[in-house]
Chains A and B, each alone.
Chain A
């Protein structure tokens, strides 16, 4: 299960990189938007977010999955999104429609921080 998710993450990261690269080279926005349905997963393992920082296309939905034996939350530093406490294997998803940089943290263990960059 873990390796499956890891593969998805790698895939998602590659898609994200491809999307941003495509935009930089002036390829149509529509092309980038196609990737918004890609499953982009951020895992929560050992009190940290992986990847800690990720760049995605606008419209992308990010799903956080908690693999720890401890509840965590996903809370936007700018109050743009906030999950309930996620128990082991619980998920939280948020769709990023606007470009920008979204810093977030776990409000239970605030040393856990991450960042979503939406192009």
Chain B
């Protein structure tokens, strides 16, 4: 199968050709699997044994992102409807997600009724629990007070926290607060100190999953798609054999592997944004109505213990 990445120009496990191949499939549902440090891409079809074998894991969780409830412009006049479709997609996954991560921008303008609509919609997700981190749209005007009151009662600082699930350590980070002029996303010294302490007692073999809104890798700094102090955070995670970083914010699937760290961004449930540098600005992108659902979607993640295998499946809202 020629989808295995043969060229590797910078030792990060994926080259441009392989990356684009993976990206090209993202529009119809793609599967990127890391096995033994090598990223493999598979088309995601139904009833395919390869797909089932590759995605079957010890447990599954899902990621949704960038619901932007309250947005009503041309790029998608009904973001609540597409969120509901994303929920239907979650509920139809072959392996039920034990929990769901929402990686931020729940709302467009941090309004109470927007949060209410989101909460009401997410009640129908068939899962045990939903974990949240804020996007910049969720902390407007009140420094995230309302967000923390609703979703972050047991969190630290601006809303960061960690939890363990079946031997995997999950860390939710906040990189949308106290941003500095001219800068990118920011974690800040308090959160960095907390993170360093949070992971120091863990065994090196503990799989780590970090989730935050703005990418924790430099996707496209010209559009603010990166986090100023993410390298500092990642330096605390170097000792671990398997680190996965899940982000939202850029409303499209991107993936990068660097050493033991896999970075992945999810699609939005609301509207797409342009590929880096391919438009005048990173604002909402209008696509033909019949294409919208092929650029919105959800992310399903499966763990296979012992094999250091992480399977990340991005599925669009188009089709069944």
Contact = CB atoms under 8 A, between A and B. Distances in A.
B141 A85 contact: yes
Contacts of B136: 108-109
Interface stretch (A16-24, A67-75, A93-101): A67-75
Contacts of A69: 71, 73-75, 283-284
Counting chain B CB atoms within 10 Å of each CB, which of A75, A87, A105, A108 scores highest? A108
A87 B283 CA distance: 13
Report whether over half of chain B's contact residues are helix, strand or loop; otherwise say mixed.
loop
A85 B140 CA distance: 6
A87 B137 CA distance: 11
Contacts of B180: 110
A46 B179 CA distance: 19
A77 B181 contact: yes
Nearest to B177: A107
B194 interface: no
Contacts of A55: none
B181 A110 contact: yes
Given A69-B75, A113-B182, A108 B283 contact: no
Contact of A113 (B140, B141, B181, B280): B181
A61 B184 CA distance: 30
B140 A111 contact: no
Given A68-B283, A69-B73, A111-B224, A105 B181 contact: yes
A85 B283 CA distance: 16
B222 interface: yes
A37 interface: no
Contacts of A111: 182-184, 221-224
Contacts of A48: 281
B108 A110 contact: no
A52 interface: no
B284 A70 contact: yes
Contacts, number: 60
A31 interface: no
A46 B181 CA distance: 17
B141 A84 contact: yes
A117 interface: no
Counting chain B CB atoms within 10 Å of each CB, which of A70, A88, A104 scores highest? A70
A110 B140 contact: no
A47 interface: yes
B220 to A, nearest CB: 11
Contacts of B221: 111
A54 interface: no
Contacts of A70: 283-284
Interface in A44-72: 46-48, 68-71
B182 A47 contact: no
A46 B184 contact: no
Given A46-B283, A88-B73, A108-B140, A71 B182 contact: no
Contacts of B140: 71, 73, 84-85, 108
A48 B222 CA distance: 12
Contact of B281 (A47, A105, A107): A47
Given A46-B283, A69-B284, A108-B140, A87 B109 contact: yes
Nearest to A46: B281
B282 interface: yes
A71 B224 contact: no
Contacts of A75: 181
28 contacts: A46-B281, A46-B283, A47-B223, A47-B282, A48-B281, A68-B281, A68-B283, A69-B73, A69-B74, A70-B283, A73-B140, A77-B181, A84-B140, A84-B141, A88-B73, A103-B181, A105-B181, A107-B179, A108-B136, A109-B136, A110-B180, A111-B182, A111-B183, A111-B184, A111-B222, A111-B223, A111-B224, A113-B182
